[in-house]
Amino acid sequence: MDDNLENYKEELRKSIKANMMTRRDQSTVVNLTALKHTHKNLKYTYVGTSGRIVSVVLDQDDLNDLMTK
């Protein structure tokens, strides 16, 4: 997968969202609320074994989606 990280950005984004939904602890809720109220996005950066880097962003629409479920 390392060579195709850029191709898997959407799958990674969906996986992050699904993982966050299953771990709705208080700290996650607080962090999501703070990001939402400050109009910030949540960015994950993956570094593959070959050193390739890909960033996945959860934007305000994603945060809205997470906050309403």
Closest CA to 66 of 26, 27, 29: 29
**Burial call 27-38: b when 16+ CB within 10 Å, e when fewer:** eeeeebeebeee
pTM for this structure? 0.66
User: CA-CA distance, 1 to 62, in Å (whole number)?
Assistant: 24
User: CA-CA distance, 28 to 30, in Å (whole number)?
Assistant: 5
User: For the chain, where are the alpha helices, taking DSSP H only?
Assistant: 9-22, 26-37, 60-67
- pLDDT score for 2: 56
Q: Which tens digit of pLDDT belongs to each residue from 22-57?
A: 776 777 788 888 888 899 998 888 887 778 888 888
